[in-house]
């Protein structure tokens, strides 16, 4: 499907280049978004930093992550892969949610972003019959009508972030080929080639492609965050032999080779070859990476890559900025907790044992 370029350019008329998070009102109470499952029922929840729920939206399938439009205080919650549904909603609950459905022959991978001005929504999607990753492009003002797609530059695009220039996307192409007819079975482990790609939001052009060393071709790059320096950090899961224990966290500066950080051997081992989410603290100086398999959240100095320690949280995966030196975390066992990274202190703010919080926690405001 070719994108209508004239239409796209028209939508970019009012594009602002400031990153979305800068645009939030500084004194507004931050909100947190996460998908939950409770007694087989799925919902999207909006709560505050004390874990108090403001409202929730029932959905048919387990949700995953969110695209956030901080300027207009809107968000889209995506189903987990291979979901075909998403919902656009007002984070202050002033408007009715708008359900979205994936295009024929496509499914969502669970992540997406808005352009800085909130006019476009882009979602990581699977063109499964062709076995290629795409970014679906949606016109928000037209009821999130899908107006085209860009190639993601790889197979199995998962997370996607907008770079600080406001016009370049960074995509984590996990490299794992799946098809919805095959129940998530990984179809290409012997020849998977994950990559980070940078895609121009105006043209869909692939402007940079980054791959790991050939011996790490089974290290699937999946989750992304941009730090205080405008540099991309990524978290990986490993599809090779269990005994290999490759580094799971990396950093990439545009135009350079990616750098991987292993941290202490015992910590790396405990992560069990799986990082499920990455986030920064509010300053953007500390990167947090979570492993629900290991029940660990680990911290990294964004400037140097030095490992700063870890916090245990059983089945913990959702992480989001809370304050300078602090994050809010969620777990599959119903915990919402505030973490003081420097003191390695975790303080539970809410416990709902019947609730499973999905992998991702996102902050707005």
User: Considering the complex, what minimum distance in angstroms separates the CB of residue 254 from another protein?
Assistant: 27
Q: Which is nearer to another protein, 47 or 78 (CB)?
A: 78
- 357 touching another protein, by CB under 8 A: yes
Q: Which is nearer to another protein, 115 or 273 (CB)?
A: 273
Contact set for another protein, span 265-304 (CB under 8 A): 269, 274, 276, 292-293, 295
Contact set for another protein, span 136-195 (CB under 8 A): 174, 176, 178-179, 181-187, 189-191
Q: Which is nearer to another protein, 82 or 148 (CB)?
A: 82
SS3 annotation, the chain: CCCCHHHHHHHHHHCCCCCHHHHCCCCCCCEEEEEEEECCEEEEEEECCCCCEEEEEEECCCEEEEEEECCCCEEEEEECCCCCEEEEEECCCCCCCEEEECCCCEEEEEEEEECCCCCEEEEEEEECCCCEEEEEEEECCCCCEEEEEEECCCCCEEEEEECCCCCEEEEEECCCCCCHHHCCCCCCHHHCCCEEEEEECCCCCEEEEECCCHHHCCEEEEEEEECCCCCEEEEEEECCCCCCCCCCEEEECCCCCCEEECCCHHHHHHCCCECCEEEECCCCCEEEEEECCCCEEEEEECCCCCEEEEEECCCEEEEEEEECCEEEEEECCCEEEEEECCCCEEEEEEECCCEEEEEEEEEEC
User: Considering the complex, what minimum distance in angstroms separates the CB of residue 282 from another protein?
Assistant: 24
Name residue, tokens 């098809």: 179
- Candidates 140, 359, 361, 365; binder of another protein (CB under 8 A) is 359
Q: Stretches 160-168, 195-203, 247-255, 328-336: which one binds another protein (CB under 8 A)?
A: 328-336
- Candidates 252, 333, 362, 363; binder of another protein (CB under 8 A) is 333
User: Considering the complex, what minimum distance in angstroms separates the CB of residue 210 from another protein?
Assistant: 21
- 237 touching another protein, by CB under 8 A: yes
- 80 touching another protein, by CB under 8 A: yes
Q: Which is nearer to another protein, 258 or 295 (CB)?
A: 295
User: Considering the complex, what minimum distance in angstroms separates the CB of residue 146 from another protein?
Assistant: 23
Phi, psi of 269 (to 5 degrees): -60, -40
- 37 touching another protein, by CB under 8 A: yes
Phi, psi of 190 (to 5 degrees): -75, -20
Q: Stretches 39-47, 53-61, 116-124, 329-337: which one binds another protein (CB under 8 A)?
A: 329-337
Q: Which is nearer to another protein, 174 or 250 (CB)?
A: 174
Contact set for another protein, span 243-262 (CB under 8 A): 243, 245
- CA 262 distance to own-chain centroid: 21
User: Considering the complex, what minimum distance in angstroms separates the CB of residue 284 from another protein?
Assistant: 25
Q: Which is nearer to another protein, 19 or 246 (CB)?
A: 246
Q: Tell me which residues touch another protein (CB under 8 A).
A: 37, 64, 80-81, 110, 129, 131, 174, 176, 178-179, 181-187, 189-191, 237, 240-243, 245, 269, 274, 276, 292-293, 295, 314-317, 331-333, 356-359
């Amino acid at each position: 499907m070719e994108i209508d370029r004239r239409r796209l350019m028209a939508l970019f008329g009012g594009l602002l280049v400031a990153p979305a998070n800068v645009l939030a009102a500084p004194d507004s109470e931050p909100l947190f978004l996460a998908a939950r499952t409770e007694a087989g029922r799925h919902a999207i929840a909006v709560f505050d930093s004390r874990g108090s729920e403001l409202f929730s939206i029932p959905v048919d399938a387990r949700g995953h992550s969110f695209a956030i439009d901080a300027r207009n205080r809107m968000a889209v919650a995506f189903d987990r892969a291979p979901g075909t549904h998403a919902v656009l909603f007002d984070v202050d609950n002033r408007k009715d949610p708008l359900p979205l459905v994936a295009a024929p022959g496509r499914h969502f991978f669970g992540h997406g972003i808005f352009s800085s001005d909130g006019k476009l929504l882009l979602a990581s999607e699977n063109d499964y019959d062709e076995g290629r990753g795409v970014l679906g492009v949606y016109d928000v003002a037209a009821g999130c009508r899908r107006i085209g797609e860009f190639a993601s530059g790889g197979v199995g695009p998962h997370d996607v972030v907008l770079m600080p220039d406001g016009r370049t996307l960074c995509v984590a192409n996990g490299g794992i080929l799946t098809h919805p007819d095959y129940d998530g079975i990984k179809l290409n482990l012997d020849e998977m080639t994950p990559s980070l790609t940078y895609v121009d939001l105006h043209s869909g052009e692939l402007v940079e492609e980054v791959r790991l060393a050939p011996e790490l071709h089974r290290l699937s790059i999946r989750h992304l965050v941009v730090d205080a320096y405008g540099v991309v950090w990524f978290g990986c899961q490993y599809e090779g032999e269990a005994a290999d224990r490759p580094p799971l966290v990396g950093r990439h500066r545009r135009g350079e080779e990616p750098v991987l950080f292993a941290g202490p051997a015992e910590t790396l081992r405990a992560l069990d070859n799986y990082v499920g989410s990455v986030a920064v603290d509010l300053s953007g100086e500390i990167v947090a990476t979570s492993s629900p398999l290991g029940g660990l959240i680990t911290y990294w100095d964004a400037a140097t890559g030095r490992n700063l320690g870890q916090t245990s949280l059983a089945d913990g995966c959702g992480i989001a900025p809370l304050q300078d030196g602090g994050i809010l975390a969620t777990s599959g066992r119903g915990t919402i907790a505030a973490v003081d990274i420097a003191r390695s202190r975790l303080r539970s703010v809410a416990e709902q044992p019947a609730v499973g919080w999905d992998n991702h926690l996102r902050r707005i405001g």
